[in-house]
Amino acid sequence: MPYSLFDLNQMEQSAFTEALGEIFEQTPTIASQAWEQRPFTDVDDLHQKMLTVVNAMSDEQQFALICAHPDLGSKAKMAEASTQEQAGAGLDRLTAEEYDRFHRLNEQYKSQFGFPFIIAVKNHTKTSILEAFETRLQHSQPDEMRQAIAEISQIAYFRLLQQVTV
């Protein structure tokens, strides 16, 4: 259910956290801490203030945020927003061969970097996601940590655009 920016600015911290706690996958503390930076002038301001919280996190906290995300194309239980996002890119309709390829790439990526591959699927297709997998497997671990946080930031922005009206 979308929330108005006005209502979000008026909410108690617990209600705000309940409303926006899943903007960052399974990490409601980001919304809770961003609440302290009210009022928000628009969705971009809210997003930037949430990113301020993310950027202030320790490496261990950012790693936990990255690890909270599901594997792409997996059949595991995931947040409703993740389910919808992956369906939008066709990842809920993979052939057996495509599923196997995604599974292999996910496993290779996790083995190499220690966390799941994350990409803001909204602007992607199965093909472009597979190409990104192949490219990003060539990166260093620190580069991929930064890329994962950048992708998470983009995912959060897309989710805010769905959840917040002005």
Contact call for residues 27 and 65 (beta carbons, < 8 A): yes
Active site residues: 69
Q: How many CB atoms lie within 10 A of CB 114?
A: 13
At residue 165, what are phi and psi to the nearest 5 degrees?
A: -110, 160
DSSP assignment of 49-88, as one string? HHHHHHHHS-HHHHHHHHHTSPPTT--S---HHHHHHHHH
Contact between residue 21 and residue 31 where contact means Cβ atoms under 8 Å apart: yes
